[in-house]
Structure 1
Amino acid sequence: MNTLIVTAHPDHASLTSGVARRLAEALPPDTVEVADLAAEGFDPRFGMVDRAAYRGHGETPADVVREQERIDRADHLVLAFPVYWWSMPALMKGWIDRVFVNGWAFEVAPEGGTRRQLGRLTVHLIAVAGDSAGTYARHGYETAMRTQIEHGIVDYVGARRGATVVVHESERDDADARDALVEEAVDTVTRAVVGEASRAS
């Protein structure tokens, strides 16, 4: 089982980037690829070339094809991101806007309806949040975020929902408590990936 970890944070020393590295180290060797969108300079802007390709009137941009090929090599996709305004950063959202497009992630059928084309893929989420679990529960933030991403994106393209974990209170001063939350998140996703690999074999 191959895993693609996609992260989007401008600071390589951030907790989000650290979570992605720790997950990569926890998974079996030679099964992981990490896509650091900020470090790689991915352009998240959905422009006219993207629109033409989406509508079937032009070639898919080369940088988008490269990202699709990365996903095609994977059985598991992990999105590791800091929570900005109760969702993923614009960089990661733009990656999804440009990469998960008509003709590859899904296809609008001429007779009507949508063919969902990523059924072979399992998607996991690791969200790094500043607020507490109680705050998220009280205001419905986690439910809203999961509905938007799990139902609005993962389900729409026919992928399977994997583990979703939120690392709360990421900016707390207690480094030991923060590290324990990170370790729990990494363990949860690792078990989900390795467990599916065991079932498949």
Structure 2
Amino acid sequence: MHTLIVVAHPDPKSLSHSVAAHVAEGVLLSDPANSFEIADLAAEAFDPRFTAVDLAVHRREVPPPADVAAEQARIDRADALVLVYPVYWWSMPGLLKGWIDRVFANGWAYDEGPDTKLVKKLRHLPVHLIAIGGAGVRTYARHGYFGAMKTQIDHGIFDYCGARVVTSELLLESETQDPTSHLNVAHAIGRDLCKATKNRETADAA
């Protein structure tokens, strides 16, 4: 099983990067035959700006530019996709959102046109989301952010493309809590990733 782990944080010493690394360790621990790739969007200087070219791609007028095609190929090689990101203003960072805006394009992630029904093209892709927030559980619950983020990201992005969100984890109080517990959770997610993916596939088949 090959896992693509995408991390969006400018500081390589951040908790986000440590969580991504612990997920990767867990993936290998579950089976030495497994493999992974960590896509560090900040270090790789991915351009998240949705330009006129991206709009032309959306309209199916031109093929995806090279940087987008390379990211799509990365995902195509993966058996599972893991996104690790800090919560900025109750959502994902603009860098990661821009990556999704550009990479999950019409014609690749889904097919849709003025005279055609929506075709979801990523039904084969299991997705694992790990968001890292500074606030506490009570804040998220009091303002309904748990549900809002699931609606916006799990449903609004991935369900639209047919991708199955297997894991949707929020690691909270990241600025005040000992990071060890969060890193242990990340390690467990990586270790159980293959099992969770297979269990979800079995449930979907049933």
TM-score by length of 1: 0.92
Aligned counterparts of 1:144 and 1:5: Cα–Cα separation in 2:
24
Provide the C-alpha distance between the structure 2 equivalents of 1:190 and 1:92, rounded to a whole number of angstroms: 24
1:154–1:189: structure 2 CA closer, same or farther, 3 Å change rule?
Answer: farther
Q: What SS class does the counterpart of residue 164 from structure 1 fall into?
A: strand
The count of corresponding residues between Structure 1 and Structure 2 is 198
**Amino acid in structure 2 at the alignment position of 1:125:** L
Contact 2:166 2:200 (C-alpha < 8 Å) held by counterparts: no
In structure 1, what is the equivalent of residue 181 of structure 2?
A: 180
For residue 147 of structure 1, the aligned residue among 146, 151, 172 is 151
Where does the alignment leave 5 or more consecutive residues of structure 1 unmatched? none
Determine the structure 1 residue equivalent to 2:121: 117
Q: Report the alpha carbon displacement of residue 152 of structure 1 after superposing the two structures with TM.
A: 0.3
Equivalent residues in 2 for 1:50-129 (5 A)?
50-109=54-113, 111-129=115-133
Distance in 2 separating the partners of 1:88 and 1:190: 24
For 1:6, the equivalent position in structure 2 comes to 6
Change in CA separation of 1:61 and 1:171 when aligned onto 2, cut-off 3 Å: same
CA distance in 1, matches of 2:57, 2:182: 42
Identity of matched residues, %: 52
Check the 8 A contact 2:25/2:187 in 1, yes or no: no
Aligned to 2:134: 130
Q: Does 1:31 align with 2:35?
A: yes
Q: Contact 2:22–2:190 (CA<8 Å) still a contact in 1?
A: no
> For residue 21 of structure 2, what is the aligned residue in structure 1?
21
Q: How does 1:34-49 map to 2 (within 5 A)?
A: 34-49=38-53
RMSD: 1.9
Match of 1:164 among 168, 172, 194: 168
* Matches of 1:144 and 1:84, distance apart in 2: 14
How far residue 189 of structure 1 moved from its aligned partner, in angstroms, is 4.8
1:110 CA displacement: 5.9
**Is the Cα contact below 8 Å between 2:82 and 2:129 reproduced in 1?**
yes
Where structure 2 has 5 or more consecutive residues not aligned to the other structure, the ranges are 202-206
Equivalent-residue separation in structure 2 for 1:88 and 1:189 (angstroms)? 21
CA–CA distance in 2 between the matches of 1:16 and 1:184?
13
**How far did 1:196 drift?**
3.0
Does residue 192 (structure 1) correspond to residue 196 (structure 2)? The answer is: no
Letter in 2 for 1:49: V
Partner of 2:204: none
Q: CA deviation at 1:129?
A: 0.3
Change (3 A) 1:199 1:170: closer
After superposition, the C-alpha distances for 1:58-103 in whole angstroms (9 at most, x for unaligned) are 1210000000000001121111000000000000000000000100
